[in-house]
Structure 1
C-alpha cells in the first residue's frame, strides 16, 4: 500500500482558487481538476472564507500583490510537469527493460563461451 502525504495549501492559494471558481463561470469539478485538488476542497475553502469574511486590507488600502502566478497559470504548469513526468517515467521503464535484456543476453553469451 502506498503511503500518502497530506498536502498543505497556503491561504493565498485557497483564496485564489475560490476566486477562480467563482469568477470563471466553470463547474466546481472543472476548476478543481485544473488545480489538481478535490472538488470538495473548493467548497470547504469557499465556506470558510464566507465565515471569516474578506481578507483585511493592506495598510495602503491596496490589495496585496501576489508574486505567485495565477491559479490558471499554476494549473497549466502542473499539467505540463505531469506530462513531462509521465514521459520521463516511460523512458526510464524502457531503459530498465533494455538493461535487463542486455544483461540476460550477456550472461547467456558468457555461459556458452568455452573457457
Structure 2
C-alpha cells in the first residue's frame, strides 16, 4: 500500500495577513480562526506569532525573535556567505592548480 501524496498549500502574503487580521481583530483563538478558514492551526499560530513580533507586541526582542525584515536580511546574508565561500574555494583550487604547473618536474630527467 502506498502513502497518499501530501500537497503543500501555498498562501500569499495577503492571504496570511488577512488570516492574522481575522484572528486578532475578532480576538479568536488560532484554532477557532484556522478552523473557520480551513487551514491548519499550526500555520495560523506561526503567522500570528510572527505578526506580533513584527509589531513589537512582546517588547524588546528576545533571543531568536526576528522580525520578518530581519529574517529576510538573514536569509540574504546566508546566501551571500555561501556564494562567497564557493568563490573562495574555487580560487583556492585554481591557485593550487597553477602553482603545481609552475613547479619543476621531479625525478632524474
- The reply to whether TM is greater than 0.5 is no
Higher relative CO (Cα under 8 Å, sequence separation at least 6) belongs to: 1
TM-score range, shorter chain: 0.3 to 0.5
